Structure 1
């Protein structure tokens, strides 16, 4: 198709930036803009490659616009992850949603490559070029369009080209739901960005998602709490525990005050906003065994990615954390605080995925849910939290 009459939107312009939803900040790059989910001042306060990668992966970030376009092209520069010794990972998936209904999917070839060697703890980047995703055959009517970016593939936005003008989607009066959690909230092992459980729950609950699910990085970091304090939000949830355990970063003595401090900071900016604390879903390897978690190298050598817990259950007597210990402490803290904070509530993560679910829906890598389990968790969260008697009702 001749693209001479198409409208081109540069994401480095104010007009292009207005189409991006769910990002905290857009960083200008040599190619375009890179959506970030943590602000620059927060990114300056850590030197952790895992968190740097996670926050730059645009989980929950989407382009939202209104148009009559029947065809559109999105040019991006993705960063593909390759694990040395493991099977190739599938390319990240873009979801096209038209008037609330999934209307297409696709991937972008090319881009940069990040090769991770888990045995040696090294990472090597190879630079590449941009690629283009195309959608066509859309109805020639005014419609609300969203293009959800791949939730686990760092994505620089270069340009959006359409055969009709676009304008930012109008404000529909939906409540902004700000959520923080681990790789499960980030969307690990879900097939596409609209199938991660927070996106499903937001859709079912009629909320506008801002997802601070940060793979491997829900560590009660003070800068994350301050970022949440400063972010606009009508509803807030924090899913706490699994990364604290599988990173083996705290003992019980430090964990309780850290939770209090995290909640105190959020409350500085949102004193009356509904605030939900969610404990970990069931994860059999860490229910009674502390971290750290590690890749199962035997499984990796066989081409399978799996995790295992390496701690000693006997060490819980000395304050090492397991998921059972974390849940008990979170329930105690919320009960204590709720006496003076009536809009604070608690949800046991096992109500979202528990013992009864493990037979039909086991965790494929012993740590993360698959797409079907993401759907189960999202539907249950929506019913329990956005429902008539829920914390976000």
Structure 2
């Protein structure tokens, strides 16, 4: 164990963060955000604020000879009244791209949510400290170590933040100097979706299906999966428009149905408008529209969805659809309706946009998969399903036959137009 006098404190800045689109300076440190301040200001909804500040896909990345790392953080842990305790958020350490350790942090703020009343109470709490010690020697080549004065043992460190806990970063300490990691030269994949893309019940931040697919596809991930908030908001479209990326995907439909947000009359032009806005900044970037995965409660039954508290005594929380299937005739959305319309829209637009593609979400998780790996709460996939979806998306999108196939070795990243 290293004594306090050995530690070097490095300020946490945007240069050390990947996957965050904004960094808010707090009284004690910094808070990564996945939506920029201008977007956050346009709708101050508590659900959206919670989702975008949960750092799914956000990681600290740096180069160092250090064999020990400490990180002071203050988490915000969710507690649902009457429901079983949620597991602690997980930090995952990668050394030169390989998993090396996992840990959690105690203390922090508590957000107590009562789903029966729709109220929430925030209680402040103390910061905690994350420690990774006895790190392995780096495996960088001689040419690589020359970038750090020829010192052996220099390695790339990634600390993936918990995908489902708002995380304030307070201090980074190491027992050797830190420098920003080099640009890996990989293509940047910008993805937007609902809680399924956010990570729902994945085993950890590198195990959400987008993180798994990104690793298999050899790309850098920016994950704009926003739990409960993939609602075709114009400020989200503008965020996608203004974020540099080589590949873009949007997975939409489930939140629109389970929130009962709009009818088909509004949905169709809203999708067109969302795509139009993205294309203002990325006119030729491969753009993949992904429809919802299977969710039996909403396949033919409109929303809204509501919590089913009947199983809380056994530690189970489930969701149910409360709409009437007959209301589809008046334009209410179901997942079946959404899939059909998204496929039609993409087919129509693809006649003039060769870089626009469609992927049926049932190819990622369908009826046969539900029979083997049912959704535990009828809405969200579990850890095994995240792995299945990540592997399938990588196969369908990143291989030679996919929308994101690397057809040349040069990265052509559209510079967003303002």
Rounded Cα–Cα distance in structure 2 between residues aligned with 1:58 and 1:338: 33
Of 99, 116, 138, 2:135 maps to: 138
Of 90, 104, 109, 1:107 maps to: 104
1:265 partnered with 2:277: yes
Aligned to 1:245: 257
Of 33, 52, 55, 1:55 maps to: 52
Rounded Cα–Cα distance in structure 1 between residues aligned with 2:265 and 2:14: 44
Rounded Cα–Cα distance in structure 1 between residues aligned with 2:122 and 2:274: 34
Rounded Cα–Cα distance in structure 2 between residues aligned with 1:136 and 1:335: 53
1:157 partnered with 2:169: yes
Aligned to 2:413: none
Aligned to 1:184: 196
Of 316, 327, 340, 2:339 maps to: 327
Contact kept? 1:78, 1:156, Cα under 8 Å: yes
Where 1:195 maps in the other structure, the secondary structure is: coil
Rounded Cα–Cα distance in structure 2 between residues aligned with 1:311 and 1:17: 44
Aligned to 1:340: 352
Aligned to 1:9: 10
Aligned to 1:303: 315
Q: 1:303 Cα shift?
A: 2.5
Show CA shifts across 1:261-296 (max 9, x none). Answer: 000000000000000000000111100000001110
Contact kept? 1:3, 1:163, Cα under 8 Å: no
Q: 1:390 Cα shift?
A: 0.5
Aligned to 2:182: 170
Aligned to 2:32: 35
Q: 1:172 Cα shift?
A: 1.4
State TM-score, norm by structure 2.
0.92
Rounded Cα–Cα distance in structure 2 between residues aligned with 1:110 and 1:86: 20
Aligned to 2:369: 357
Unaligned runs of 5+ in 1: none
1:46 partnered with 2:43: yes
Rounded Cα–Cα distance in structure 2 between residues aligned with 1:339 and 1:279: 19
Where 1:156 maps in the other structure, the secondary structure is: strand
Aligned to 1:97: 94
Rounded Cα–Cα distance in structure 2 between residues aligned with 1:282 and 1:60: 24
Where 2:261 maps in the other structure, the secondary structure is: coil
Query: Following superposition of structure 1 onto structure 2, how do residues 306-317 of structure 1 map, counting pairs within 5 Å?
Result: 306-317=318-329
Aligned to 2:121: 124
Show CA shifts across 1:119-159 (max 9, x none). Answer: 11110011111100000111232211100000010000001
Contact kept? 1:66, 1:142, Cα under 8 Å: yes
Rounded Cα–Cα distance in structure 2 between residues aligned with 1:20 and 1:260: 33
Q: 1:82 Cα shift?
A: 0.4
Q: 1:23 Cα shift?
A: 0.2
Where 1:171 maps in the other structure, the secondary structure is: coil
Q: 1:90 Cα shift?
A: 1.1
Q: 1:86 Cα shift?
A: 0.9
Of 388, 395, 402, 1:383 maps to: 395
Unaligned runs of 5+ in 2: 138-152, 406-418
